[in-house]
Amino acid sequence: MVATLQLPIYLVFMFAIFGLAAWALIDLLRRPAAAFVSAGKRTKPLWGAILGVATAVSFAAVPFPKGIPTFPLFLALLCAVAAIVYLVDVRPAIAPYSRRRPPSSGPSRGGGW
């Protein structure tokens, strides 16, 4: 009885961790490398390596359908920690440096005759 409840809950947690890591990696890829330096955070390649490994490990942690979880849970939790640190600490810090600016329409015509 308990085992029939544990597997779906475990599966939901593993998919959530994978989704979180993938979201962090996709967000990282969309940010310019200069924003990391300007915000005083670690470099984009380092965060890319951390989140790339976290996404791969969290994908491997998702059990096969109707399978028994064999992957160590603590590794999946470390992946979640890496993604959460990026999303909660790094992402807000680099956001002001990576905003897109509206396209300029050329020289302004204001002022003067």
pLDDT at 71: 73
Residue 109 pLDDT > 60, yes or no? no
- The ranges assigned to domains in the chain are 2-96
Buried b (16+ CB within 10 A) or exposed e, 10-43: bbebbeebbebbbebbebbeebeeebbeebebee
pLDDT at 19: 96
- The mean-pLDDT minimum among 1-10, 14-23, 92-101 falls in 1-10
Task: Report CA Rg, the chain.
Answer: 20
Residue 103 pLDDT > 90, yes or no? no
pLDDT in tens, 29-85: 999 999 999 999 999 999 999 999 999 999 988 877 666 666 778 898 999 999 999
